[in-house]
Amino acid sequence: ILNVEQSPQSLHVQEGDSTNFTCSFPSSNFYALHWYRWETAKSPEALFVMTLNGDEKKKGRISATLNTKEGYSYLYIKGSQPEDSATYLCAFRQGAQKLVFGQGTRLTINP
């Protein structure tokens, strides 16, 4: 059974501060790592699909890095805003298998 772990489980950050959190996954037979943002009462929204070791992707104030050899990805948010409050999910695909999701990091931005 694949184990995808996210930490921390929840995080409270002051508006304007930067933050980051981690997704850990098995390092063998890597295919892809996905990041999603899920705001309350909305659909989970795809942020990044990462496939190559050393990948760095950026979307506005949000960026992500990938280390497939050691099995982790970091998500960074620079200058947090209230609209960044959401649950951030990572999902790992190993080879031709299905996506396996972590339990998510619930981020709350305090104004």
Partner 1 sequence: EAGVAQSPRYKIIEKRQSVAFWCNPISGHATLYWYQQILGQGPKLLIQFQNNGVVDDSQLPKDRFSAERLKGVDSTLKIQPAKLEDSAVYLCASTVSRDTQYFGPGTRLTVL
Stretch near partner 1 under the rule CB under 8 A, chosen from 13-21, 56-64, 68-76, 99-107:
99-107
Residue from 32, 57, 74, 78 in contact with partner 1 (CB under 8 A) = 32
CB closer to partner 1, 78 vs 94: 94
Contacts to partner 1 from residues 49-68, by CB under 8 A = 49
102 belongs to the binding site for partner 1 (CB under 8 A): yes
The separation between CA 58 and the C-alpha centre of its own chain, rounded to angstroms, equals 12
89 belongs to the binding site for partner 1 (CB under 8 A): yes
Beta-sheet strands, E only, within 1-111? 5-7, 10-14, 19-24, 30-38, 45-50, 56-59, 62-67, 72-77, 86-94, 99-101, 105-110
42 belongs to the binding site for partner 1 (CB under 8 A): yes
Nearest-angstrom CA–CA distance, 7 and 11: 9
Question: Are 35 and 45 spatial neighbours (Cβ–Cβ below 8 Å)?
Answer: no
Residue recorded with tokens 């619930």: 106
Q: Which residues bind partner 1 (CB under 8 A)?
A: 4, 6, 32, 34, 36, 41-46, 49, 89, 91, 93, 96, 98-104
